[in-house]
Structure 1
Amino acid sequence: MSLSMRDRLVAILQRPDIRGMAGVIGVKVVMVVLNFTLIALAARALETDEFGYYSILFSAAGLLLITAAAGQELFVIRSWNEFVVRKDMGRIKGLFYFSVGLCTAASILVSAGFLPWVSWWYGWHTALAVTCFMVLSAVLQVSNHLLRTSISVAAGDGIGNVCQVTPAILYLAWCLVSAHDAHLTELFVFLSIGAFAGIVVHFVMMRRRVRKLFPAIASAKAVSDRLEWLARSARMWASNTLEAINQYVDVLIIGYLMSPTIAGAYFVTVRLANLFAAAADSINLFATRHFSRLYYQGDRQELARFLDSVAWITLAFIVLGLLAIAGGGYFALYFINEEYAVYYPELMVLCCGTAALAVARPCGSILMLTGYEGQYLRIIAASVTLRVIALFALIPHFGVMGAVVSTAASFVVAATMMRRAAKASTGLDATIVRLMAT
Structure 2
Amino acid sequence: MSRTQDLRGAVDGGSGTNASAHSLGELVRSRIASIAHLLTGNFGVAILMFASISLAARALGAAEFGALALILAVGRVSERLVRFESWQPLIRYVAQEENSGDAQSLSRLYAFGLLLDICSALLAAVLAISAGLFLGQFFGLEADQLHLVAIYACAIALNIRGMPSAALRMAGRFRTLAYIQGFSGLLRLLGTLVLLARGDGLASFVLLWTAAQIFDAMLFNLAGFRALRDQGVPNPLRASWRGLRQRYPGFLKFAFSTNLSSMLRTLTHEVDTLLVGALVGPTGAGLYYLARRIAKVAQQAGDLVQTVVYPDMARVWTGVAWRNMSKIVTSVQLVLAALALAAIFIIFLTGEPLLVFALGNDFADLLPLLLAQLVAVGLILHAAPSRSALLAMNRPGLVLVVAAAATALFFAVALLAIPQLGPLGGNFAHIAFGLFTAVCLDIAMWRGIGARGASEKP
In structure 2, relative to structure 1, the CA distance for the partners of 1:367 and 1:196 (3 Å cut) is same
What does the per-residue CA deviation read over 1:30-76, in whole Å, with 9 as the maximum and x for residues that have no partner?
22222222321221222322110111121222222223422313223
What does the per-residue CA deviation read over 1:107-154, in whole Å, with 9 as the maximum and x for residues that have no partner?
3333333213324545575133211122233x1365334423324222
Shift in Å at residue 371 of structure 1? 1.2
Partner of 1:275: 297
Residue in structure 1 matching 2:207, options 167, 170, 189 = 189
Is 1:211 matched up with 2:229?
A: yes
Shift in Å at residue 216 of structure 1? 6.5
Q: Is the 8 A contact 1:291 1:303 kept in 2?
A: yes
- Say how many residue pairs are matched: 414
Letter in 2 for 1:231: K
Shift in Å at residue 217 of structure 1? 7.1
What does the per-residue CA deviation read over 1:371-412, in whole Å, with 9 as the maximum and x for residues that have no partner?
111111111111111111221122112222322222211211
Partner of 2:161: 140
Q: Is the 8 A contact 1:252 1:263 kept in 2?
A: yes
Of 362-371 and 254-263, deviating more is 362-371
Is 1:150 matched up with 2:144?
A: no
Is 1:43 matched up with 2:61?
A: no
Letter in 2 for 1:212: D
Shift in Å at residue 275 of structure 1? 2.3
Alpha-carbon RMSD across the aligned residues, in angstroms, is 2.8
Is 1:170 matched up with 2:190?
A: yes
What does the per-residue CA deviation read over 1:156-186, in whole Å, with 9 as the maximum and x for residues that have no partner?
3531x2244332221111122x2x1333333
Q: Secondary structure at the match of 1:70?
A: coil
Is 1:34 matched up with 2:34?
A: no
> After the TM superposition, which residues 28-427 of structure 1 pair with which residues of structure 2 at under 5 Å, given as runs?
28-119=42-133, 121-123=143-145, 125-137=147-159, 139-140=160-161, 143-159=164-180, 161-176=181-196, 178=197, 180-214=198-232, 224-226=244-246, 228-279=250-301, 281-300=303-322, 302-334=324-356, 335-427=358-450
> After the TM superposition, which residues 9-20 of structure 1 pair with which residues of structure 2 at under 5 Å, given as runs?
15-20=29-34
In structure 2, relative to structure 1, the CA distance for the partners of 1:190 and 1:290 (3 Å cut) is farther
Aligned-residue identity in percent = 19
Between the aligned partners of 1:278 and 1:216, the Cα distance in structure 2 is 31
- Runs of 5+ consecutive residues of structure 1 not aligned to the other structure: 1-10, 429-438
Between the aligned partners of 1:99 and 1:145, the Cα distance in structure 2 is 9
Between the aligned partners of 1:84 and 1:30, the Cα distance in structure 2 is 34
Shift in Å at residue 299 of structure 1? 2.9
Q: Is the 8 A contact 1:125 1:185 kept in 2?
A: no
Partner of 2:140: none
In structure 2, relative to structure 1, the CA distance for the partners of 1:269 and 1:196 (3 Å cut) is closer
In structure 2, relative to structure 1, the CA distance for the partners of 1:301 and 1:48 (3 Å cut) is same
Between the aligned partners of 2:376 and 2:345, the Cα distance in structure 1 is 15
Between the aligned partners of 1:212 and 1:146, the Cα distance in structure 2 is 10
Between the aligned partners of 2:423 and 2:163, the Cα distance in structure 1 is 33
Between the aligned partners of 1:391 and 1:31, the Cα distance in structure 2 is 30
In structure 2, relative to structure 1, the CA distance for the partners of 1:162 and 1:290 (3 Å cut) is farther
In structure 2, relative to structure 1, the CA distance for the partners of 1:216 and 1:143 (3 Å cut) is closer
Letter in 2 for 1:320: A
Letter in 1 for 2:212: G
Q: Is the 8 A contact 2:155 2:210 kept in 1?
A: yes
In structure 2, relative to structure 1, the CA distance for the partners of 1:216 and 1:373 (3 Å cut) is closer
Q: Is the 8 A contact 1:277 1:321 kept in 2?
A: no
Between the aligned partners of 1:410 and 1:284, the Cα distance in structure 2 is 19
Shift in Å at residue 304 of structure 1? 4.6
With the length of structure 1 as denominator, give the TM-score of the two structures: 0.85
Shift in Å at residue 294 of structure 1? 3.2
Between the aligned partners of 1:233 and 1:14, the Cα distance in structure 2 is 28
Q: Is the 8 A contact 1:148 1:157 kept in 2?
A: no
Q: Is the 8 A contact 1:78 1:369 kept in 2?
A: yes
Shift in Å at residue 303 of structure 1? 4.2
Q: Is the 8 A contact 1:80 1:92 kept in 2?
A: yes
Letter in 1 for 2:208: F
Shift in Å at residue 99 of structure 1? 1.9
Q: Is the 8 A contact 1:395 1:402 kept in 2?
A: yes
Q: Secondary structure at the match of 2:391?
A: helix
